[in-house]
């Protein structure tokens, strides 16, 4: 068999602890093949007989050996294997035990790698996801299993694995979040949003990607971020890598639809297409992450965007009966102001009247 030498080489490397992740994947594929699996048993048998201890012959069914070890690992209950009875002299028992223990260690090492693989194993443990849904009027902070820190803005949703056992660390975001990613050279960190995937190793960045908005904004503070699928140049095959101090804005392609009720629905991640992109070099990034410090900052933003952010920030609803207000652009910062104080400041700047009833506001001409 062509793969015999390769399998033996991988088994020797697993025995010495030198095997790497790609070799483990290859060994896993070999182990699923019955013919290749027979090579594993012969290798174990050779290791058994090759140990330099003198004692009577001991016959072992190596297929049952590996199967029994597999069961013991699952149950976490050590069960002695059925060996043919030997003379009861103490030194022979010790020698047999040493040989058995040595091969068990090798087999357990192999079984451990098999059990910890996920690709191609129908019995592999499924990834368990947690989800955080931040209500309007609130902010949240969580620590992921790899010690990555995540701040979530109002209205954000983050789906993430309870534990990172695979070859990468992948989370799904709808909304705005600030990530302080723990470095891991062997497992990249992926943030998946509708219309964009970000790949990082260890960095600090802010992502604003609400499904019901027509733009995605990413601001990099430290490290490096790779934007999957977005090329640096039209004829360049490499993905775009952002540098600290840069802000990337992706504009989603707006869809024409006769269904007026679909305008406010969240877009499916697979249906989102990017119409345009803009990369900006910022002089400062403080404004981009001010929300993390409980500050709401506006910089010449149209009132329709101001309205959306106010609704999320304070957990209110705003009804506009004067469409001319939407064209007004507002600049300012709300730090510890209440919603009533914020509305009064907007009223003075844009010259409109409003009626406030609990958490609902009606803006009149």
Tell me the per-residue pLDDT of 186-220, one tens digit each, with 9 for 90 and over.
889 999 998 789 999 889 999 999 998 989 999 99
Residue positions counted in the chain? 365
Most confident range (mean pLDDT) of 7-16, 201-210, 248-257 is: 201-210
Does residue 350 have a pLDDT over 60? yes
Please give the pLDDT value at position 267: 45
Using CA atoms, how far apart are residues 117 and 125, in angstroms rounded to an integer? 9
Asked if 219 and 288 count as a contact pair (C-beta separation under 8 A), the reply is yes
Cβ within 8 Å of residue 282, ≥6 positions away: 219, 245, 246, 247, 288
Please give the pLDDT value at position 81: 43
Average pLDDT over every residue of 139-156: 95
> What is the share, in percent, of the chain residues with pLDDT greater than 90?
38
For the ranges 24-38, 242-256, 268-282, the lowest mean pLDDT is seen at 24-38
Report the candidate in 262, 158, 167, 267 with the shortest Cα–Cα distance to residue 213.
Answer: 267
Does residue 39 have a pLDDT over 80? no
Does residue 256 have a pLDDT over 70? no
Q: Which residue reads 């793969």 in tokens?
A: 3
Please give the pLDDT value at position 22: 60
Using CA atoms, how far apart are residues 98 and 243, in angstroms rounded to an integer? 57
Please give the pLDDT value at position 32: 56
Residue 3 burial (10 A CB sphere; 0-12, 13-18, 19+):
middle
Please give the pLDDT value at position 20: 65
For the ranges 147-156, 248-257, 279-288, the lowest mean pLDDT is seen at 248-257
Does residue 121 have a pLDDT over 80? no
Please give the pLDDT value at position 125: 57
């Amino acid at each position: 068999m062509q793969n015999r030498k390769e399998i033996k080489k991988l088994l020797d490397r697993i025995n010495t602890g030198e095997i790497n992740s790609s070799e483990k994947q290859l060994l896993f594929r070999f182990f699923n093949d019955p013919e290749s699996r027979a090579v594993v048993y012969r290798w174990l048998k050779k290791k058994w007989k090759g140990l330099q201890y003198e004692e009577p012959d001991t016959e072992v069914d190596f297929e049952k050996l590996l199967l029994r070890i597999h069961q013991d690992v699952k149950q976490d209950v050590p069960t002695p294997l059925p060996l043919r009875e030997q003379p009861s002299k103490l030194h022979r028992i010790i020698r047999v035990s040493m040989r058995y223990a040595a091969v068990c260690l090798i087999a357990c090492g192999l079984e451990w790698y098999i059990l910890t693989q996920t690709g191609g194993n129908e019995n592999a443990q499924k990834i368990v996801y947690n989800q955080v849904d931040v209500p309007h009027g609130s902010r949240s902070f969580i620590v992921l299993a790899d010690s990555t820190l995540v701040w979530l803005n109002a209205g954000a949703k983050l789906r993430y694995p309870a534990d990172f056992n695979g070859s990468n660390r992948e989370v799904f975001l709808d909304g705005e979040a600030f990530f302080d990613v723990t470095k891991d050279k062997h497992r990249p960190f992926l943030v998946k949003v509708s219309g964009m995937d970000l790949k990082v190793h260890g960095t600090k960045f802010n992502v604003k990607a609400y499904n019901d908005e027509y733009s995605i904004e990413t601001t990099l503070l430290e490290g490096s971020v790779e934007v999957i699928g977005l090329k640096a140049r039209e004829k360049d095959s490499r993905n775009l890598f952002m540098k600290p101090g840069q802000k990337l804005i992706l504009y989603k392609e707006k869809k024409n639809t006769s269904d007026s009720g679909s305008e406010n629905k969240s877009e499916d991640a697979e249906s989102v297409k990017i119409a345009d992109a803009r990369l900006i070099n910022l002089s400062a990034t403080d404004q981009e992450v001010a929300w993390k410090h409980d500050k709401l900052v506006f910089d010449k933003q149209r009132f329709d965007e101001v309205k959306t952010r106010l609704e999320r920030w304070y957990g209110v609803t705003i009804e506009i009966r004067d469409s001319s207000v939407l064209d007004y652009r507002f600049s300012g910062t709300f730090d510890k102001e209440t919603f009533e104080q914020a509305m009064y400041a907007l009223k003075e700047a844009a010259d409109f009247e409003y009626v406030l009833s609990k958490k609902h506001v009606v803006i009149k001409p």
